[in-house]
């Protein structure tokens, strides 16, 4: 399990006010009829050796953030800075050599590995593409180290992806990401499709590799129970925006946004007698084509009041490293339901 970062390394990734609005076109001439506001002003930094988890329900825009960083499409606005260099506006040619520094592990280990390539070819591809080794002997030595690192037997290198279990395939996906010697790995729901016990093994493997190699990890997940055991910091997304950001302990012990509290309500508590202030989420996430006015969470928030329906709350500092966007924090503490449990505990 990762412990909180007190002295983070240098920034590897900075995302500044990132926006991705997808145009909705229709008609004979492809007229723009509206926009999907998938990501609407997201900012965060990840340091060397640190894990930042981006969490939220499906459809909140967290995977779009990952794809925007990977430059799978052009961004609408904002900046993506990798190792001090802006990459959001680079041409495909200028971006190519930098791609080795950001690798990705996807959710589905079945579809993310080419079924017509043996493990040897899958892992050798990034090594040769990025010129990290040449000649059979040198490449084989690297492949052996990679297999050791992810806990797969070396003699499995000549097997096909379909010959492995889901967890083993995800280990191959991690080995492929490591083969490029990246600074940052984006794990996009990387353990969601796995059985519970296998999930824990893969999460432990990622934590071990992070400590050994000083990797920065962007862990995109809807599963707060998994995040709790492996993250240093958490950013909570709702309808294209970050609504709360803090260290693992701040988010789990003292959440300052009703949406974060609602997500935590769904996490099983090991102690059945443990008290937890519960907020049960009702309804679906509204459409990002026409997000609610004011606070985007107001249609589902049990504490919404008039101001929430007209004025969008800004992210405000709650503590060192901890920000949240909610009008309730303008009220006196005694009238703030988010603080009720904490005040009673004092
Ligand atoms: Fe709920 Fe209002 Fe806070 Fe939004 S600003 S989370 S609607 S109380």
pLDDT digit string, tens, across residues 267-291: 876 655 555 567 878 778 899 999 9
User: Does residue 5 lie in a domain region?
Assistant: no
User: Does residue 142 lie in a domain region?
Assistant: yes
pLDDT band, residue 139 (cuts 50/70/90): very high
Is pLDDT of 38 > 80?
yes
User: Mean pLDDT over residues 140-146, rounded?
Assistant: 96
Q: Which domain does 160 fall in, by range?
A: 13-345
Average pLDDT, the chain: 91
What pLDDT, on the 0 to 100 scale, is given for residue 345?
Answer: 43
What pLDDT, on the 0 to 100 scale, is given for residue 274?
Answer: 53
Say how many Å lie between the CA of residue 121 and the centre of ligand 1: 51
User: Does residue 7 lie in a domain region?
Assistant: no
pLDDT higher for 127 or 342?
127
Q: Is 298 in the pocket of ligand 1 (CB under 6 A)?
A: yes
What pLDDT, on the 0 to 100 scale, is given for residue 3?
Answer: 54
What pLDDT, on the 0 to 100 scale, is given for residue 310?
Answer: 98
Q: Which atom, in ligand 1's list, is nearest to the CA of 296?
A: 4
What pLDDT, on the 0 to 100 scale, is given for residue 160?
Answer: 96
User: Does residue 3 lie in a domain region?
Assistant: no
Q: Which atom, in ligand 1's list, is nearest to the CA of 308?
A: 2
User: Mean pLDDT over residues 256-260, rounded?
Assistant: 96
Say how many Å lie between the CA of residue 329 and the centre of ligand 1: 10
User: Mean pLDDT over residues 285-307, rounded?
Assistant: 95
pLDDT higher for 37 or 282?
37
User: Mean pLDDT over residues 23-49, rounded?
Assistant: 93
User: Does residue 228 lie in a domain region?
Assistant: yes
Output 199-205 pairs: Cβ under 8 A, ≥24 positions apart.
199/226, 200/229, 201/167, 202/167, 202/170, 202/171, 202/174, 203/229, 203/230, 205/150, 205/151, 205/171, 205/174
From 303, 325, 340, give the residue whose CB has the most ligand 1 atoms within 8 Å, as the site to mutate. Answer: 303
User: Does residue 4 lie in a domain region?
Assistant: no
User: Does residue 6 lie in a domain region?
Assistant: no
Q: Whose CA is nearest to atom 7 of ligand 1?
A: 298
Count: domains in the chain: 1
CATH number at residue 37: 3.40.50.300
pTM, to two decimals = 0.92
User: Does residue 117 lie in a domain region?
Assistant: yes
pLDDT tens, 44-103? Answer: 999 999 999 999 998 899 999 999 999 999 999 999 999 999 999 999 999 999 999 999
Say how many Å lie between the CA of residue 301 and the centre of ligand 1: 6
């Amino acid at each position: 399990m990762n412990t909180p970062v007190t002295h983070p390394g240098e920034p590897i990734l900075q995302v500044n006010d990132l926006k991705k609005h997808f145009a909705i076109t229709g008609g004979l001439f492809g007229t723009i009829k509206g926009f999907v506001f998938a990501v609407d002003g997201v900012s965060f930094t990840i340091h060397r050796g640190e894990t930042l988890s981006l969490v939220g329900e499906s459809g909140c825009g967290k995977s779009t953030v990952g794809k925007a960083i990977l430059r799978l499409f052009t961004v609408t606005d904002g900046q993506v800075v990798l190792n001090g260099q802006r990459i959001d506006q680079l041409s495909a040619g200028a971006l190519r050599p930098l791609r080795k520094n950001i690798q990705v592990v996807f959710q589905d280990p079945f579809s993310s590995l080419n079924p017509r390539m043996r493990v040897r070819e899958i892992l050798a591809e990034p090594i040769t593409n990025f010129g990290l080794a040449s000649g059979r002997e040198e490449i084989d030595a690297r492949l052996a180290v990679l297999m050791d690192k992810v806990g797969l037997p070396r003699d499995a290198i000549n097997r096909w992806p379909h010959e492995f279990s889901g967890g083993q395939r995800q280990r191959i996906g991690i080995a492929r990401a490591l083969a490029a010697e990246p600074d940052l790995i984006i794990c996009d729901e990387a353990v969601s499709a796995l059985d519970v016990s296998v999930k824990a093994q893969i999460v432990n493997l990622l934590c071990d590799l992070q400590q050994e190699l000083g990797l920065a990890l962007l862990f995109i997940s809807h599963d707060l129970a998994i995040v709790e055991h492996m993250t240093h910091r958490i950013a909570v997304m709702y309808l294209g925006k970050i609504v709360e950001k803090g260290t693992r302990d701040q988010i789990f012990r003292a959440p300052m946004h009703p949406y974060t509290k609602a997500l935590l309500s769904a996490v099983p508590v090991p102690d059945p007698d443990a008290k937890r202030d519960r907020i049960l989420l009702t309804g679906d996430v509204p459409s990002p084509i026409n997000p609610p006015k004011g606070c985007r969470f107001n249609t589902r928030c049990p504490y919404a009041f008039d101001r929430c329906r007209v004025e969008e709350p800004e992210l405000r500092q709650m503590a060192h490293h901890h920000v949240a966007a909610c009008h309730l924090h303008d009220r006196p503490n005694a009238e703030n339901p988010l603080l009720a449990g904490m005040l009673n505990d004092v």
